[in-house]
Amino acid sequence: MGFDSMDRKSFLGVAGGALLCTIGGKQYKVDSETDLAELSSKVAVPPKVAAAKNDPPLSKADIVGTRKEYWIQAEPVAWNPVPKHRDQMLGTSIKKTVGKTKIQAMAYRQYDANFSKPLGPATIPGPLLDATVGDTLVVHFRNALPYTVTMHPHGVFYSNEMDGSYKGYWSDPGGFVQRGRTFTYVWECPEGTQGSWFYHDHGPLDPTPLYSGLFGPLIVRDPDEPLPDREYFLGFHTFSPGLFPIKSALYSINGRAYTGNTPTMQAKVGDDVAMHVYGIDNDFHTFHIHGHRWQEPAGNVVDNKTFGPGDSFRARWIEDNPGRWLYHCHVFSHLHAGMSGWYIVE
Amino acid sequence: MGFDSMDRKSFLGVAGGALLCTIGGKQYKVDSETDLAELSSKVAVPPKVAAAKNDPPLSKADIVGTRKEYWIQAEPVAWNPVPKHRDQMLGTSIKKTVGKTKIQAMAYRQYDANFSKPLGPATIPGPLLDATVGDTLVVHFRNALPYTVTMHPHGVFYSNEMDGSYKGYWSDPGGFVQRGRTFTYVWECPEGTQGSWFYHDHGPLDPTPLYSGLFGPLIVRDPDEPLPDREYFLGFHTFSPGLFPIKSALYSINGRAYTGNTPTMQAKVGDDVAMHVYGIDNDFHTFHIHGHRWQEPAGNVVDNKTFGPGDSFRARWIEDNPGRWLYHCHVFSHLHAGMSGWYIVE
Amino acid sequence: MGFDSMDRKSFLGVAGGALLCTIGGKQYKVDSETDLAELSSKVAVPPKVAAAKNDPPLSKADIVGTRKEYWIQAEPVAWNPVPKHRDQMLGTSIKKTVGKTKIQAMAYRQYDANFSKPLGPATIPGPLLDATVGDTLVVHFRNALPYTVTMHPHGVFYSNEMDGSYKGYWSDPGGFVQRGRTFTYVWECPEGTQGSWFYHDHGPLDPTPLYSGLFGPLIVRDPDEPLPDREYFLGFHTFSPGLFPIKSALYSINGRAYTGNTPTMQAKVGDDVAMHVYGIDNDFHTFHIHGHRWQEPAGNVVDNKTFGPGDSFRARWIEDNPGRWLYHCHVFSHLHAGMSGWYIVE
């Protein structure tokens, strides 16, 4: 069966929160794992993928700089975006408005060397990939999901076959990691890649796996800069009623929605605090924090910053203001649908 | 009645311009003052608020630097966002498309010392809070609305109990100023807070009071910078058919919609002109002005700038171009729903 | 017939992708050229336009600096936004989801001196207006469309009567160029206007002509900066089902939608590459490119940038990464509705 079999599948994108697909001319909503596995099985295997051996050896004989090695598996996860069932900001229950919030999601999970054992539970977002300028990230990826997914990084340097993106006929093995397969990504961090970044699925089912939890933070540290005393990585995203059996969209931070469920960040006066923020849904957001402000790269000072899907940035300051503070997206309909949290300074 | 009574109320946020609320499991639209007062009365008084005396003495014995004192009352206002009933940009009447535009709104109104008399009519936005680095803003706030509201500032420094935000159980008195009550906010303006900011309600009914007019500009001036010859503060926001009896949303600047109703700004050639822009609705906007451009903090030159809810910035230039110019949001559906105005240079 | 006749026309703006208009109190969708010509004929001729001679002589006797002269005609164009009927990124046909994609659009087309002959086919976007600091752009504009349209530039300096904007009663001839008429725009490029800009219709039917293709790139080069080896101008915009007989919106780049139809950019390793990006529809977008990143004016490095309608910016780098790369808007519903393309580096 040639590549043209893919003519039968076409993503229509996301409309009104629901993901519509067309297979063989029939439109339907992707609303179950079954649908996704079915859909995935209909995507023709690209020629370069078909020709490749499973888990090809590293394509770069010489790893540049220090090798930072990760073993990461994509796997299903039973997830609760609102484990406390309450919004502490408003002091309200969200049971009536959102309904039950236990969902079947997807996660990148970190394992010990050679996937000997998990290094903790599967979480949304996935593990931090932590590099410094000069390092090379070597990410051994295993797909334990019943659909084809990938890992695609932002910010770092990588050769074309390492970009983890599905590109139709031209796809490389790293852009089409089928169920049960593995692939080793090599991502370099030369001078000029320092920054707060992230990674996410960019496979043939994009954006459904990403909307379901397949993303995580990535940082390339500047060796000339001191490490912060405290830092938090905050992914702004959405769980949609089009994909999950929830009554309304959950505007989430790090897999959780509503204050008290989203990360409760902590610091103490005098700490050098960094917050690394990225956006990874279909919406534009702002990051606002009460009682604090930070300097942008141009030198101006802000306490609120607009960012879109794929954007990432860092807010950093020396902590000088104790108390219980709110941080939130300043888009009011996002704020009141879960996109807020506590920052507690002693 | 304990704090848990608040379980009965839950904000669902803003969907399609309409504000939906749930009280006791029943969903309804907030579309009248009666609804709001009813809703407000159902919000349990947080423990720290219940324990506090009305109008507590200043929590900071020593006011840092120069004291800039304001007396501001939140009150109802009969408001007309389109008093001329016409869009001068297109030369058209808006009667058929928007209908009647007299609404019952809310405003922050400035008073003389000790609330002896108003310093002018209630307006949307509220009065400019004008500080310079080194000042401390002391804002005596009185709530003459039948619902609980607050004042929350952007950009300045304030201790935790002065942030004017409702935080559920953890709310401070300044974050829950009930009808008829007063509270004195102390907001400091140390080095590093200079900028064009704003303030707005952040109480338990957020965002309804803000959507109804409870916001205003705030500036912290840099003493090393000359004052502009002319300056304008421009709040971009929306009056929504979900909250007011209008046929379609009014995309507004400073409480008015459509060219000729929005601020007609003026300057003359040679003036050092500053425009302080902030966004305070649920949408992303751009600020575009014809015949002019300005330098961003990084040094690049723009004539159009994207900003989101909670963002604020300054455009500043030496005026060199006489004529009748349009300024507007470049989102076309906002532009054609009122978000434009004149800038006339002699 | 006086100016008040325009009372009968009122644009309601864009709702749900459809353009609704009101003429004489009757609402209808603008969905054909006939409608537009009818609508255009109902817009009263502003007094300054009525008083002006056709094609007035240049209003500036002394053209500053080097004169860069263009002859540009607005004309109808038969256009196909998806000539290959396929999305090469996903390897799928778009026939079933989008339907037929041949549309009647509008374009700015470049002609030889004095409109002696076209310099190529009419295209969306229109021709690049290419200036350097110190130049004056002299743009001879002829309207061969059956409706009133204009040319309005971003970034450059122009006197008030040269801004190409309809301003109702106060409109200048350059802001109201009727069918069959000509107008010569004079736009100056003094120090401080260097940048990546664009131009677009800003006449009385705005935004319909612009949504139909009436826009194009404009650059003011810094003479102290070397020319790039390769450069691309990328306009992000939308063809809407409200205006064209397509089944769903085409999120487009330079008049084309879906990878393989949008510009396939090319460069080779070592090239100094510039991409000039602008947004000219009703949406916010991001520009993201795989395998690359660039420095912003403030010095920070990004690989994704949010921009709104009217924004424009430049991404520039020394090419160091061969392969077949995707560039796309990171808003997933835009990406999957066509807003992506190839960048091929040898």
pLDDT at C61 exceeding the cut of 60: no
Alpha helices in chain B (DSSP H): 33-41, 47-51, 95-98, 208-211, 332-335
- In a 3-state reduction of DSSP, which class is residue A116? coil
How many of the other CB atoms lie within 10 Å of CB of B75? Answer: 15
How sure is the predictor about B99, in pLDDT bands with cuts at 50, 70 and 90?
confident
Q: pLDDT tens digit string along C94-146? A: 888 888 899 999 999 999 999 999 999 999 999 999 999 999 999 999 999 99
Q: What is the mean pLDDT of residues B149-159?
A: 98
pLDDT at B148 over 50: yes
Looking at per-residue pLDDT, the higher value among B242 and C131 belongs to: C131
What's the confidence (pLDDT) of residue B30? 57
Query: Whole-number mean pLDDT of chain C?
Result: 90
Q: Of the candidates B325, B239, B238, which has an alpha carbon nearest to the alpha carbon of residue B275?
A: B325
Confidence of residue B61 (pLDDT cuts 50, 70, 90): low
What pLDDT shows up at residue B319? Answer: 98
**Residue B34, pLDDT score:** 62
Domain ranges in chain C are: 3-45, 67-345
The pLDDT value recorded for residue C99 is 86
Size of the A and B interface in Cβ pairs below 8 Å: 135
Give the model confidence (pLDDT) of C156-187 as tens digits: 999 999 999 999 999 999 999 999 999 999 99
Residue C188 has pLDDT above 80, yes or no: yes
Residue C4 has pLDDT above 50, yes or no: no
pLDDT in tens, A244-278: 999 999 999 999 999 999 999 999 999 999 999 99
Compare CB distances from B96 to C3, C25, C167 and report the shortest one's residue: C25
What mean pLDDT is predicted for residues C23-38?
59
| B33 Cβ contact partners less than 8 Å away, ≥ 6 residues apart | B76, B104, B146
Q: Is the pLDDT of residue A12 over 60?
A: no
Q: Which of A306, A323, A333 sits opposite B284 (nearest CB)?
A: A306
**CB-based contact B170 A336, cutoff 8 Å:** no
The chain A residues in contact with chain B (CB within 8 A) are 87-94, 96-97, 248, 259, 284-286, 288, 290-291, 293, 296-306, 321-326, 330-337
pLDDT given for residue C183 in this prediction: 96
- A197, A218 in Cβ contact below 8 A? yes
Q: Is the dihedral of CA C221, C222, C227, C232 positive or negative?
A: negative
Average pLDDT over residues B124-139: 98
Mean pLDDT of B270-277: 98
**Predicted pLDDT of residue A7:** 30
For residue A119, pLDDT over 80 is answered with yes
Q: Are C306 and A306 in contact (CB under 8 A)?
A: yes
| pLDDT above 70 coverage of chain B, percent | 88
Q: Do C332 and A14 touch (CB under 8 A)?
A: yes
Query: How many cross-chain Cβ pairs, A to C, lie less than 8 Å apart?
Result: 135
Q: How far, in Å, CA of A199 to CA of A150, rounded?
A: 10
For residue A217, say if its preceding peptide bond is cis, omega within 30 degrees of 0. no
Structure ipTM:
0.92
Tell me the average pLDDT across C251-280: 98
Fold of B67-345: Immunoglobulin-like (2.60.40)
The confidence score (pLDDT) of residue A54 equals 64
The answer to whether the CB atoms of B160 and A324 lie below 8 A apart is yes
Alpha carbon distance B325, B322 (integer Å): 9
pLDDT, average across residues C182-209:
97
**Which pLDDT does position C14 carry in this prediction?**
34
Q: What is the pLDDT of residue A98?
A: 86
Q: Residue C155 carries which DSSP code? A: S
* pLDDT tens sequence across A33-63: 567 888 888 899 999 999 997 666 565 556 7
Please report residues of B whose CB lies closer than 8 A to that of A285. Answer: 308
Residues of chain B found within 8 Å of residue C309, distances taken between Cβ atoms: 286, 330-332
* Most A-contacting residue of B150, B277, B311, B331 (CB-CB within 10 A), to test interface: B311
Instruction: Report d(CA A257, CA A237) in Å as an integer.
Output: 10
**Per-residue confidence (pLDDT) for residue A242, from 0 to 100:** 84
pLDDT at res. A53 = 75
Q: Which chain B residues are within 8 Å of A291, Cβ to Cβ? A: 157-160, 163
Which chain A residues are Cβ-neighbours of B7 within 8 angstroms? 91-93
Rounded to whole angstroms, the Cα distance separating C271 from C343 reads 13
What is the C-alpha to C-alpha distance for residues B293 and C211, in angstroms, rounded to an integer? 25
Q: Could you tell me the strand order of the sheet in which C9-15 lies?
A: C9-15, C18-23, C26-29
Q: Which residue of A has its CA nearest to C303?
A: A155
Q: What is the pLDDT of residues C132-141, one digit of tens each?
A: 999 999 999 9
- Structure-block tokens of residue C301: 């490095």
Distance of CA A89 to the CA centre of its chain: 25
Can you tell me the distance from the alpha carbon of A129 to that of A153, in angstroms, rounded to the nearest whole number?
Answer: 10
* CB-CB under 8 Å, A308 with C90: no
The residue of chain B nearest to residue A306, with distances taken between CA atoms, is B308
Q: Report the C-alpha gap between B260 and B256 in whole angstroms.
A: 9
The pLDDT value given to residue C242: 84
Cα gap B77→B144, rounded to integer Å: 11
DSSP letter, residue A88: T
Q: Which chains touch B (3 or more CB pairs under 8 A)?
A: A, C
Quote the tokens at residue A1: 């069966």
What is the predicted pLDDT for the residue at B4? 30
Residue B53 is predicted with a pLDDT of 75
Q: Which of C22, C40, C311 to mutate to test the interface with B (most CBs of B within 10 A)?
A: C311
Q: Do B324 and C10 touch (CB under 8 A)?
A: no
* Closest by CA position to A154, among listed A249, A276, A238, A263: A276
Phi, psi of C15 (to 5 degrees): -130, 120
Average of pLDDT values for C87-94?
Answer: 92
Q: Output the pLDDT for position C34.
A: 62
Does residue B20 surpass a pLDDT of 80? Answer: no
CA distance B52 to B39: 23
**Chain B residue at shortest CA distance from C203:** B90
B336/C154 touch (CB, cutoff 8 Å), yes or no: no
pLDDT tens digits along A146-182? 999 999 999 999 999 999 999 999 999 999 999 999 9
Q: What is the pLDDT of residue C1?
A: 20
C295: left (phi over 0), alpha (psi -120 to 50) or beta: beta
Give the C-alpha separation, A117 to C153, whole Å: 61
Are C332 and A13 a contacting pair at CB < 8 A? yes
The answer to pTM > 0.95 is no
